[in-house]
Amino acid sequence: MQQFKLGLVIANPELLREVQTCLKTLEVRPLLEQAAIGDAAAFLDQLEQLHLDVLVIDLTRLSEPFENVIRRIKSCPSAPLVIALNDTADPEVILGAIRAGASEFLYPPLESGLSQALERLSAERAKTQAGAALHRGKTLAFVSAKGGCGATTIACHIAVEIQKATGQEVLLADLDMEAGLIGFLMKSKSNYTIIDAARNVRRLDTSYWKALVSNGLPGLEIIAAPQTATVRETLEGEPFRHVLRFARSSYDWIIADLGRGLNALTANVLEEIDETYLVATLDLPALHQARQVIQSLLDTGYGRNRLRLILNRLPKRPDFEPAQIQKILGLSIFEMLPNDYPPLFEAYSELKLLPANSDLGKSLSGLARKIVGVAPAKEKVKSKLNFSLF
């Protein structure tokens, strides 16, 4: 059996005595042991600090409905697995505890029941970790050569279009700690951000992760960056690399917005990124910065074959030849996207994505299919029959 970080909240002396006897046999020492929860906010803060794996909680002497207590515990980012204790096998209490989020429900005699429950939870966790090691999703990063090139807009639409094209599970992750716009653009409803994941990398499991992400469209989940500067903090890139590594075990595609340029965080997560899409526009500052980013990536050992160049907001008649840009930047152009500002401005004004029938919407759909290797969607051809006959 794997080792657990265990906590006990047990007020009933008889239940406590049985639990302690069982834990002594298993040689498990609780990190937390108290009779009551006390102040709810302080207790949840304590759980966050201890990073408990399992919390054994006595339902018989709580000061509020046990369903509320369990739901509150399960809603925090580092939520432990909950083993609920009761002095009787009341069917209504059992059903209520399980519905509220308890993983196990036990009643006396506890010795064999608690041991078996911990064994089950241990086996479940081992199975989850083994599955995570086998599954490896693909991670694509989008980065702007400079501010305003449109990497965030492209990342949002590509995440949606990849899910549509493949029907697979997609994560849209915001690693732009300066702007943090994805949560706003995609209407994320989660109160937590990718910083919460980075702070608690040791607690990353399925139940913890689900408390952090927000559902976008079917098959698409979002983990946002902080939207206000007051809650941002300087974190090293290492924890974020572990967050992306964990996400690979749960999603087929991870679309990461890295913001603009390169920084310490970006450099640290490169190891977990399969392909990087550099977004630039045709103005000289953007092209200059694009050249700098490309060279910096190559200097770190990031393979040229993993770099993709996207030129955004191209006019209908650009005054350049693609070969010129490729020669200047030392990288071939992967895709060129049209300047289609009016529908994009309208979509942003209404907090929506681009309409699929817009020029840019069609181009982004084609880009997503090109990335995943799916044939372009066929446009419906209008019938040429003369319906006046009917």
Would you say 69 and 97 are in contact if contact means Cβ atoms under 8 Å apart?
no
Share of the chain above pLDDT 70, in %: 90
Q: Residue 117: phi, psi to the nearest 5?
A: -65, -45
Q: Where in the chain is the domain with CATH 3.40.50.2300?
A: 6-121
Q: What is the pLDDT of residues 20-58, one digit of tens each?
A: 998 888 888 889 999 999 888 889 888 877 878 889 999
For residue 386, the one-letter residue type is: N
Looking at the DSSP bridge assignments, the partners of residue 54 are 6, 81
Share of the chain above pLDDT 90, in %: 46
Contacts of 316 (CB under 8 A, 6+ apart): 338, 339
Topology at the third CATH level for domain 133-372: Rossmann fold (3.40.50)
Question: pLDDT of the chain along its 390 residues, tens only?
Answer: 556 788 999 999 999 999 999 888 888 888 999 999 988 888 988 887 787 888 999 999 898 899 999 988 887 766 788 999 999 999 999 999 999 889 899 999 887 888 888 888 777 766 655 554 555 789 999 999 999 999 999 999 999 999 999 999 999 999 999 888 999 889 888 889 999 998 887 778 888 898 899 987 889 999 999 876 544 555 667 889 889 989 998 899 999 999 999 888 888 899 899 999 999 999 999 999 999 999 999 988 899 999 999 999 998 887 778 888 999 899 999 999 999 878 888 887 777 888 888 999 999 999 999 999 887 766 554 444 333 322
- pTM exceeds 0.75, yes or no: no
- 359-366: long-range contacts (C-beta < 8 A, 24 or more apart)? 361/157, 363/335, 363/337, 363/338, 364/154, 364/157, 364/158, 364/161, 364/337, 365/161, 365/164, 365/165
**What would be the CATH architecture of the domain defined by 6-121?**
3-Layer(aba) Sandwich (3.40)
Instruction: With H, G, I as helix, E, B as strand and everything else as coil, classify residue 277.
Output: strand
Q: What is the reported pLDDT for 3?
A: 66
Q: Where in the chain is the domain with CATH 3.40.50.300?
A: 133-372
Q: 290: how many CB neighbours lie within 10 A of its CB?
A: 26
